[in-house]
Structure 1
Amino acid sequence: MSKVVVSKFGGTSMGDALCMLRSAEVSFKQNSSIVVVSATSGTTNALIELGKTAQAKAWSESEVLLKKIRDRHLQIAEELKVSAATRTQLEALFEEKESLARGIHLLKDCSIKAMDTLMSLGERMSSVLFTEAMGQVLKTHGSGKKSELLDVRDVLRTDDAFSKARPLTEEIISLCGKRLVNLRDFKTVYVTQGFIGRTEDGMTTTLGRGGSDYSAAILAEGVSADILEIWTDVAGIATTDPRLCPKAKPIDEISFQEASELATFGAKVLHPATLLPAVRKNIPVFVGSSFESGAKGTWVRKEVEDYPLIRAMALRKKQVLVTLSTPAMLHAHGFLFQIFKIFNDHKVSIDAITTSEISVSVTLDDSALLNKRLIADLSEIADVQVEENLALVSLIGNNINHTAGLGKKVFETIADINVRMICLGASKHNFCFIVSEEQGPLAIQRLHQKFIEGQ
């Protein structure tokens, strides 16, 4: 019996005509039912630059960027020898892009709502091209199937939190049931966009950078897919970043819990939120490389055969440590509530936290410091100290918080590296601590040698 497979391809897999055709071959081989694509590599950044340029600079500079983006996609179209209908679709998107840029330039205002619509064009252009590539591959193989372009905004309903929109799960499931009613006939390969959605009143939204993986998982949940595939430029998940440790090992399979922790604490392969919809529906996730489709890759499942103490490790750079101190905390209740309320009001996420009688330390991405009001509000309730240029080292595995002697082995391995903060006990899958950003790579290298290479 055929399975519903949702396959997602990243920007490098959409890089040019050759990449698109290669990715289409992978989709055919995998018998994909829905293919979710990112913008061609570099296009989203180019569109962001276009929005900023249109707002603040001379129109002639915007014209240069418009032509650059247009030429890139027309080159792919030429190499694919696209149909007249596909060319017409592209031209309509080029016109929309220019109209948006002109509006931003005339108003001298690039709101997050306008930027979301502008950025959506990256995926909308690449999906038009990939639909053509997919159709050519299906025809070449004589599959009898057709490729059909699906505007994901027809099914991926979100709230109106522009730039970081939240999907409305129940509505998405309902819309998928109506729009993709023939999905299990397996006669059509639907090509659609990652990263974008639409509000109830028809406004285009984005799910945040890296949101294409998330989109694919949301769609997989929406259609009750049997498998979700994430195709990137690396052959699966490794025990750590191979750029830090050349001896990093590929991981054949990993549990949902471990993969979620790994993604959250710095691994680049998966978007941190990607797995949530898959977990809810217990959909196995495969991570592989479109450039090495024959490689083994990594399966992410609810249950796996092996549960090692240390499965992998991650390094998250650009961290800051914010320490709040006040005698008012001593034997008082409600202080943590005040702290968390301030972070909540400013929509800033905390990664790790430790407390003492009169102090609380939290780690944040350094981008949070751009929010000057956040620090000001925290300063109203406590003395605030901020330490920058730090890195979060995370060991990901199983039963970590109930394994005697693990801490001793960890800190003996990095005895000459100063550890600024430790977070252990909240999760049996994670042990993390803060070191200087300069010493982060060395800590990972030593720990990988101790716990992974030495096994």
Structure 2
Amino acid sequence: MKVYKFGGASVKDAESVKNVGSVLKSQGFEQCVLVVSAMGKTTNALEKVVELYFAKQDFATELSKIKENHTAISQRLFDESHEIFAKMTAVFDEVEEFLGRNKSPNFSFVYDQVVSSGEIVSSKILSAYLNDQGFDNQWLDARELIKTDSTYREGVISWDDTQRNISRLNQSQSYVTQGFIGSEDDNFTVTLGREGSDYSAAIFAYCMNAETVTIWKDVPGVMTGDPRKFENVSLLPNISYEEAIEMAYYGASVIHPKTLQPLQQKNIPFYVKSFLQPEMPGTKVGETDQNCYIESFILKENQHLMRIATRDFSFIAEDHMSQIFSMLAKFKIKVSLMQNSAISLALCLEDKYEKISDLERELSQHFSTETVKNVSLFTVRNADLQKLHTFYNGKTILLEQISKKTVQLITN
């Protein structure tokens, strides 16, 4: 059994959906689970629907635009009488009905019920198109298979239940299903975090003891830097699980941070390849003695640098650290880098849910805080420290951290 994951860029329009068929023709689709994301920027558009709903503004018009876009794509793929149009309409009708009857004030709960519809619709369209093209497959609802707790927008996998559900699948068949989503005990949808479709692919692979996982991207593989942000980057043909996990932790967007742990546990090779050039080898991630220790660059934007100090000039001790990290967990704010001195702690923070002001307010009851917002974290892996000075050119450095292999600079 193989697992393929196609992201939003690979199914953004009718031509892209057709290209998935071309990729499968060249790579093979027998005994395969295909995990698909929402089409193009659909997730962003559905997020806007949720925001308008909570602002008590006209969300229905925005939802109609999303439906119209999917209809236009489908009209280029299917005859007008095709059953996919009724299935697609049913999904969007269900979203509108949910918002009409919902009484919950929980933003994250509502978010998951609405935003997940993007994956449901895209997977239905892709499954139907592939069946029409002779790629026999069964559509699966990932929510019936991947079980989580009720941490909406950041679901924690219930591995025993998920393993039990997925192991019932017939591995001689091929399937099309969704990334990014699961469900909790009451069968309400729970998402796995933004960009969580890669993680979904890893979950299926782990539970099915897959031969390989391939993530299809619009880049040739894992590069030494994002080609949209850095010049003269090159392909990393082989990297170890450990190096890939490090790169994901530091913010390499091509790999979701949670994806690699389940694959490493069962030594399942993981490939990153281009859906534009499927014949190219891409990057292999796995146990390897050919790990590419090449200087690589990662830029993590939209960060916040917060300095926290004790009011009485006492040391930042373990009890202070425990208090601070408890607050970070409460507001679901992630630490990208930390550095402490005797009386202060500097944290580079990722505020996915826009809770930084709440954190500052709560911290101010016990500590002095100072925050520089919208900074960037620039990381150099396998850095050549002999040319360290070149990393500083043209940058205003707010904080730096240097280890044997890694240079990290916070800049504004």
Structure 1 residues not aligned, in runs of 5+: 140-145, 401-405, 437-455
Alpha-carbon distance, 1:374 to partner = 1.4
What CA distance in whole angstroms lies between the structure 2 residues aligned with 1:102 and 1:332? 50
Alignment map for 1:341-352 (pairs within 5 Å): 341-352=326-337
Question: Is the CA contact 1:48–1:119 (under 8 Å) kept in the aligned structure 2?
Answer: yes
Alignment map for 1:129-148 (pairs within 5 Å): 129-138=125-134, 146-148=136-138
CA 1:164–1:67 in structure 2 vs 1: closer, same or farther (change >3 Å)?
Answer: same
Secondary structure, in 3 states, of the residue corresponding to 2:110?
helix
Identical-residue share of aligned pairs (%): 30
2:257 alignment counterpart: 272
Show CA shifts across 1:134-155 (max 9, x none): 213335xxxxxx2110111111
1:194 lines up with 2:179 in the alignment: yes
2:149 alignment counterpart: 159
Secondary structure, in 3 states, of the residue corresponding to 1:80?
coil
1:171 lines up with 2:161 in the alignment: yes
Q: Number of paired residues?
A: 408
Alpha-carbon distance, 1:130 to partner = 0.4
What CA distance in whole angstroms lies between the structure 1 residues aligned with 2:305 and 2:279? 43
Alpha-carbon distance, 1:175 to partner = 1.1
Alpha-carbon distance, 1:11 to partner = 0.8
1:390 alignment counterpart: 375
1:211 alignment counterpart: 196
Question: Is the CA contact 1:197–1:205 (under 8 Å) kept in the aligned structure 2?
Answer: yes
Secondary structure, in 3 states, of the residue corresponding to 1:350?
strand
What CA distance in whole angstroms lies between the structure 2 residues aligned with 1:337 and 1:110? 28
CA 1:223–1:250 in structure 2 vs 1: closer, same or farther (change >3 Å)?
Answer: same
CA 1:257–1:111 in structure 2 vs 1: closer, same or farther (change >3 Å)?
Answer: same
What CA distance in whole angstroms lies between the structure 2 residues aligned with 1:390 and 1:77? 41
1:291 lines up with 2:276 in the alignment: yes
Range with greater deviation from structure 2 (115-124 or 27-36): 27-36
CA 1:331–1:121 in structure 2 vs 1: closer, same or farther (change >3 Å)?
Answer: closer
1:88 to 86, 89, 92: 86
What CA distance in whole angstroms lies between the structure 2 residues aligned with 1:300 and 1:389? 32
1:439 alignment counterpart: none
What CA distance in whole angstroms lies between the structure 1 residues aligned with 2:397 and 2:95? 49
1:119 alignment counterpart: 115
Secondary structure, in 3 states, of the residue corresponding to 2:26?
helix
TM-score with structure 2 setting the length: 0.91
What CA distance in whole angstroms lies between the structure 2 residues aligned with 1:331 and 1:149? 54
Alpha-carbon distance, 1:408 to partner = 4.9
**Alpha-carbon RMSD:** 2.5
AA at the equivalent of 2:161:
E
2:76 alignment counterpart: 79
Structure 2 residues not aligned, in runs of 5+: none
What CA distance in whole angstroms lies between the structure 2 residues aligned with 1:249 and 1:63? 45
CA 1:77–1:244 in structure 2 vs 1: closer, same or farther (change >3 Å)?
Answer: closer
Larger Rg: 1
2:2 alignment counterpart: 5
2:33 alignment counterpart: 34
Show CA shifts across 1:350-389 (max 9, x none): 1111122222211112557633331123223322122234
Secondary structure, in 3 states, of the residue corresponding to 2:232?
coil
CA 1:220–1:315 in structure 2 vs 1: closer, same or farther (change >3 Å)?
Answer: same
Alignment map for 1:426-437 (pairs within 5 Å): 430-436=406-412
What CA distance in whole angstroms lies between the structure 1 residues aligned with 2:405 and 2:201? 25
1:452 alignment counterpart: none
2:302 alignment counterpart: 318
Secondary structure, in 3 states, of the residue corresponding to 1:294?
coil
AA at the equivalent of 1:88:
A
CA 1:16–1:373 in structure 2 vs 1: closer, same or farther (change >3 Å)?
Answer: closer
Alignment map for 1:230-379 (pairs within 5 Å): 230-308=215-293, 310-326=294-310, 327=312, 329-330=314-315, 333-365=318-350, 370-379=355-364
Alpha-carbon distance, 1:420 to partner = 2.7
1:422 lines up with 2:400 in the alignment: yes
Question: Is the CA contact 2:38–2:121 (under 8 Å) kept in the aligned structure 1?
Answer: yes
What CA distance in whole angstroms lies between the structure 1 residues aligned with 2:307 and 2:125? 50
CA 1:332–1:367 in structure 2 vs 1: closer, same or farther (change >3 Å)?
Answer: closer
CA 1:172–1:329 in structure 2 vs 1: closer, same or farther (change >3 Å)?
Answer: farther
Range with greater deviation from structure 2 (109-118 or 30-39): 109-118
Show CA shifts across 1:145-199 (max 9, x none): x211011111111110111111122221111112x1x21x2xx220000111011
Show CA shifts across 1:82-101 (max 9, x none): 67443332232132122123
Alpha-carbon distance, 1:131 to partner = 0.5
What CA distance in whole angstroms lies between the structure 1 residues aligned with 2:316 and 2:43? 51
1:21 alignment counterpart: 18
AA at the equivalent of 1:216:
A
What CA distance in whole angstroms lies between the structure 1 residues aligned with 2:62 and 2:317? 57
Range with greater deviation from structure 2 (357-366 or 227-236): 357-366
What CA distance in whole angstroms lies between the structure 2 residues aligned with 1:416 and 1:396? 20
2:387 to 409, 413, 432: 409
Show CA shifts across 1:323-364 (max 9, x none): 122355439553322322332333322111112222221111
What CA distance in whole angstroms lies between the structure 2 residues aligned with 1:219 and 1:128? 18
2:100 to 99, 102, 105: 102
CA 1:174–1:311 in structure 2 vs 1: closer, same or farther (change >3 Å)?
Answer: farther
